[in-house]
């Protein structure tokens, strides 16, 4: 499900216009614009951090197996090509056929449906942490889904079982309220709530399996970003016309009010999710390192309390911040939209190799494959089958 959504998320990249130049003395208004971009960066870091730990938790406990999407090397090669086809298709619909209103209506409906699911599942752990067990214990019911043309391509007919708790119902009601709020007002806060939920689910559920696949994916998107932003007007046109919660927004006039229409700093969710899944893989590799050494955490509670080393995750997380700040500086300096992945990809991939070189683990990093790293049920030992072959 989320792999198809990610194709759409990658259509929108960072496209704010900020009036800074090398000899420009910023006014108070421009300073607030700068503050808005920093706020965008902070909002981008939140889903990467939370999503990375959720991806580790899912890998350890084998939770969300049905929802997790694993990208193979072939998927990584094809991802930029499919993304380019989707981007060009949207551009033709927006620019040539002038169907912006109808396309946005269709896409908004699509994103609202999955946005409710993403937001509800994202806030569910928060409610489960303080609600009584009677609210969090699910009740299971079964029903027969009818044979409906077209719909059965998504949901097959037959007997279905649904497990729902009172906590789940509360979360879905809240998520539906946010979706209705966004549909009626397009308010930037409701947009960001849905966008952050999409990002958390994307980072936590999309797995790469190995760093080689991750580098293929990021390398392809690096070229994809450069071509569609610098060589054509396609990316910017689609970003400005695409009216769905696929980007984070922060208003320039947050601390002051004008009679002019709000202008926003923006960041496409693709610039969060794609580096995010790579950073999440770094965290899982750090756990792999900790688990194969003497002082590995033996239980989830011990995992949470023990200060096990996370050098690759920490280093890449900092590199992502550096990449975002570099994007911000270049946008300010040249007063033009910039493809964020142009700076984020070298930061993340370069950070991985720099960290592995410092720790003298480059060969281990390149050989790492999650398919051959399996936890047994007691989680007391991690066996790398590949080393036995």
- Domain assignment of residue 167, yes or no: yes
C-alpha span between 322 and 357 (Å, rounded)? 19
Handedness of CA 316, 322, 327, 328 (dihedral sign): positive
C-alpha span between 190 and 199 (Å, rounded)? 14
Helix (H, G, I), strand (E, B) or coil at 207: strand
- Domain assignment of residue 388, yes or no: no
Reading the chain (389 residues) residue by residue, the pLDDT tens digits are: 555 555 555 555 544 333 333 333 344 455 556 677 788 889 999 999 999 999 988 887 776 666 788 899 999 999 889 889 988 999 999 988 888 888 888 888 888 888 999 999 899 888 888 888 888 888 877 778 777 765 666 667 777 777 888 999 999 999 999 999 999 998 999 999 999 999 999 999 999 989 999 999 999 999 998 888 888 888 878 877 888 888 888 887 776 655 455 678 788 888 999 999 999 999 999 888 877 765 555 555 555 555 677 899 999 999 999 999 998 888 878 777 778 899 999 999 999 999 999 999 999 999 998 877 644 334 444 444 444 44
Helix (H, G, I), strand (E, B) or coil at 306: coil
Cβ(222)–Cβ(342) below 8 Å: yes
Cβ(233)–Cβ(92) below 8 Å: no
- Domain assignment of residue 99, yes or no: yes
Q: At CA 53, angle to CA 47 and CA 57, rounded to 5?
A: 135
- Domain assignment of residue 77, yes or no: yes
- Domain assignment of residue 15, yes or no: yes
**Whole-number pLDDT of residue 177:** 96
- Domain assignment of residue 146, yes or no: no
pTM exceeding 0.95: no
Any idea how long the chain is? 389
Helix (H, G, I), strand (E, B) or coil at 194: helix
Q: Which domain holds residue 334?
A: 2-139+160-382
Catalytic machinery residues: 225, 271
- Domain assignment of residue 153, yes or no: no
- Domain assignment of residue 149, yes or no: no
Q: What is the DSSP string of 50-75?
A: HHHHHHHHHHHHTTTTTT-EE--HHH
**Residue 129 CB: number of other CB atoms within 10 A?**
9
Q: What is the tally of structural domains in the chain? A: 1
């Amino acid at each position: 499900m989320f792999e198809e959504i990610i194709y759409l998320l990658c259509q929108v990249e960072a496209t704010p216009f900020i009036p800074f130049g090398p000899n420009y003395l910023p006014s108070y208004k421009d300073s607030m614009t700068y503050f808005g971009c920093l706020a965008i960066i902070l909002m981008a870091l939140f889903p990467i951090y939370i999503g990375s730990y959720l991806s580790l938790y899912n890998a350890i406990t084998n939770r969300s197996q049905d929802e997790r999407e694993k990208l193979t090397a072939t998927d990584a090669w094809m991802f930029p090509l499919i993304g380019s086809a989707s981007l060009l298709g949207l551009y033709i619909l927006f620019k040539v056929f002038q169907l912006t209103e109808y396309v946005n209506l269709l896409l908004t409906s699509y994103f609202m449906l999955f946005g409710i699911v993403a937001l509800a599942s994202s806030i569910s752990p928060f409610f489960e942490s303080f609600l009584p067990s009677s609210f969090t214990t699910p009740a299971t019911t079964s029903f027969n889904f009818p044979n409906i043309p077209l719909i059965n391509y998504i949901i097959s007919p037959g007997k279905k079982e649904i497990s729902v708790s009172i906590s789940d119902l509360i979360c879905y009601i809240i998520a539906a309220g946010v979706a209705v709020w966004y549909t009626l007002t397009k308010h930037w806060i409701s947009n960001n709530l849905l966008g952050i939920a999409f990002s958390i689910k994307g980072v936590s559920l999309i797995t790469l399996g190995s760093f080689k696949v991750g580098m293929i994916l990021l390398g392809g998107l690096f070229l994809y970003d450069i071509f569609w932003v610098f060589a054509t007007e396609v990316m910017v046109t689609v970003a400005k016309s695409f009216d769905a919660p696929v980007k984070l927004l922060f208003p320039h006039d947050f601390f002051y009010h004008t009679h002019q229409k709000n202008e926003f700093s923006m960041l496409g969710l693709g610039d969060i999710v794609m580096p995010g899944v790579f950073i999440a893989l770094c965290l899982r590799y750090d756990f792999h390192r900790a688990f194969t050494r003497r002082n590995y955490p033996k239980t989830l509670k011990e995992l949470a309390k023990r200060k096990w080393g996370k050098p690759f995750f920490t280093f890449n997380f900092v590199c992502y911040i550096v990449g975002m700040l570099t994007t911000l500086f270049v946008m300010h300096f040249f007063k033009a939209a910039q493809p964020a992945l142009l700076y984020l990809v070298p930061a993340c991939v370069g950070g991985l190799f720099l960290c592995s070189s410092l720790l003298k683990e480059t060969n281990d990093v390149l050989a790492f494959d999650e398919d051959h790293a399996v936890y047994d049920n007691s989680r007391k030992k991690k066996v790398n089958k590949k080393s036995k072959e």
